[in-house]
Structure 1
Amino acid sequence: MKTIIMAGGSGSRLWPSSRSLYPKQFLAIAEQDTMLQATLARVAGLSEEGSSVICNEEHRFIVAQQAQEMGANLDSIILEPVGRNTAPAIALAAFDALESAKGAAPLLLIMAADHVVNDVPPFHSAVAKARVQAQAGKLVTFGIVPETPHTGYGYIQRGVAIDGNTEDGAYTVSRFVEKPNADTAQSYLDEGDYYWNSGMFLFAA
């Protein structure tokens, strides 16, 4: 398995602290380390194939410096000449992983550099469970149990349990929903089978 960390971004959401040349993933917002460094620390030891970071061309030296500061040995830094959102970035990472693969297509654990994960062991446990499904040929996405009817997140509706097994928390996806209005978000919370869409994935390259 290889970890792919997406560290692109325009720096517009937390202006003026976050700027186009220094977006939020390179800032220390939630803890002492920057968000990128916290992500690299979180995935340390998870991936046999190491970690790669995808970023805008103008951020490559920031990524290299922040990785070096914490002793993280990146497998590669993949540069986007122009930001084109998530799917093209993942495609770049998949092509890169396939080119450097020594055997079968590796699994790719895809995540953003600006997540905050306060409890790391359950995160590692979720990845381990997802890995079993990805090895069986499934494309896995990670949902977050919602705490509020948040209108700024997309949602995933849970389908049936894989193989009827509810213990490992693997379910089919019934549907993805874009950011809803407040009343719709509240109905999702009340129904109990909707999750915030984390934007994290695990699947074979």
Structure 2
Amino acid sequence: MSTTLITPVILSGGSGTRLWPLSRSKRPKQLLALTGEQTMLQMTAGRCVDSGRFGKPIIVTNALHADDIASQLAAENHDAAAIILEPVARNTAAAIALAAIEAKPDAVLLIMPSDHVIRDVAAFHAAIAAALPVLKDGWLVTFGITPDLPETGYGYIKRGAEIRPDVHRVAKFVEKPDKARAESYLAEGGYSWNGGIFLFRADAYLNALERHAPEIARAAHAAMAGAARDGQIIRPDASSFTECPSESIDNAVMERDDRVAVVPVEMGWSDVGSWDALHALGFGDDDGNVIHGDVVAIDTSHCLIRSEGPVVTVAGVRDLIVVATRDAVMILPRGSSQDVKKIVEQLKARAHDALDTPFPA
């Protein structure tokens, strides 16, 4: 099993509105450079470039982002095996099914969201190596992120009996908890965050999907059977795929199957799900400010200040998030990243151009 090439499957269908005003529907966060010189998509693909271990990736996205994805991969000399364009969004269970059908039945698939940060790639690769031996017996593996805070924004995984070194049967999946329950999970131990990264054989996943969510399996097979192909671009049949139920892989398969394992891993992971997360990921100055772009900060501390065009000047403030683009400015207190959702809802109600116009404009 150790010589089997792993096929990365990169899911790139999200809209990323939690990072508005940078992230827009036509250029969501995975297509932006938020934590370094490379975009989130480029960093994700770059974790799997060892030709002795990984094959070419399969990207699942939508037509709106196809050109951006192809150009960003080409810029880093990443050659995709396929770019599958979902006709409509139908959540992760269906998106992964499209990739699994495209792959060979015995292909080992590494499922990764396109917009996560993993700082310790060596630890990630070690976790993958630990998981590989159980795949031949049909196990579906998820990677459990070692929690360091009683986070209420993630689902949790409780570890059960050890199957082999560093690989445990999943005892149960737990929905996002309240603060008290999250604190109890950390105190008890044996829990991981559910980071949404998976490893399994294509046929094992499709067989599990047939057992637990046959409507999704049928629609995905029909869509791929009727797909139009143009080089690496695959357009599944829209009428077939539209009939597919919308469910996450967790709800459709992982929480229902009896051969689901978890590999706990501490790898510097973040889903970069908010401006507060970006502040935590950034390298602060002596006053705890994370600054990007043309910024003048006087007597200012513990702020995230980002300009993608105009000069931004602040004085005498602390604990703020300030983000400026050419067509929008957002200011809110640190710790209030959830309010971005309210902002986006208000802009949607006004059908405001700043939601959709790609940045840079």
**What is the TM-score when the length of structure 2 is the normalising length?**
0.53
1:30 aligns with 2:35: yes
Judge conservation of contact 1:67–1:73 (CA < 8 Å) in 2: yes
Aligned mates of 1:135, 1:94 — CA distance in 2 = 16
Which position in structure 2 is the counterpart of 1:95? 101
Identical aligned pairs, as a percentage? 49
Aligned mates of 2:12, 2:44 — CA distance in 1 = 10
Judge conservation of contact 2:159–2:170 (CA < 8 Å) in 1: yes
The amino acid that maps onto 1:154 is: G
The worse-fitting range, judged by mean Cα deviation, of 188-197 and 39-48 is 39-48
Listed one character per residue, the Cα deviations across residues 64-106 of structure 1 (whole Å, up to 9, x for unaligned) are 0100000001111011111111101011111111xxx3xx521
Q: Find 2:69's aligned residue among 63, 72, 75.
A: 63
Q: Secondary structure at the match of 2:143?
A: strand
Q: How many residue pairs were aligned?
A: 196
Which position in structure 2 is the counterpart of 1:7? 12
Judge conservation of contact 2:145–2:193 (CA < 8 Å) in 1: yes
Listed one character per residue, the Cα deviations across residues 25-76 of structure 1 (whole Å, up to 9, x for unaligned) are 1111122110000011111126543211111111000110100000001111
Gapped regions of structure 2 (runs ≥ 5): 1-5, 203-361
Q: Find 1:169's aligned residue among 166, 170, 176.
A: 166
Which position in structure 2 is the counterpart of 1:120? 121
Aligned mates of 1:96, 1:86 — CA distance in 2 = 15
1:181-200 correspondence runs (5 A): 181-200=178-197
Which position in structure 2 is the counterpart of 1:141? 142
Q: Find 2:25's aligned residue among 10, 20, 24.
A: 20
Q: Secondary structure at the match of 2:47?
A: helix
Q: Secondary structure at the match of 2:131?
A: helix
Aligned mates of 2:95, 2:35 — CA distance in 1 = 25
Aligned mates of 1:142, 1:159 — CA distance in 2 = 14
Aligned mates of 1:88, 1:152 — CA distance in 2 = 24
Q: Find 1:72's aligned residue among 78, 84, 87.
A: 78
**What is the TM-score when the length of structure 1 is the normalising length?**
0.92
Q: Which runs of 4+ in 1 moved over 6 A?
A: none
Judge conservation of contact 1:53–1:74 (CA < 8 Å) in 2: yes
Gapped regions of structure 1 (runs ≥ 5): none
Judge conservation of contact 1:11–1:21 (CA < 8 Å) in 2: no
Larger Rg: 2
Query: 1:15 offset after TM fit, Å?
Result: 0.8
Aligned mates of 1:39, 1:203 — CA distance in 2 = 18
Query: 1:136 offset after TM fit, Å?
Result: 2.8
Which position in structure 1 is the counterpart of 2:212? none
Query: 1:6 offset after TM fit, Å?
Result: 0.3
Q: Secondary structure at the match of 1:94?
A: helix
Which position in structure 1 is the counterpart of 2:48? 43
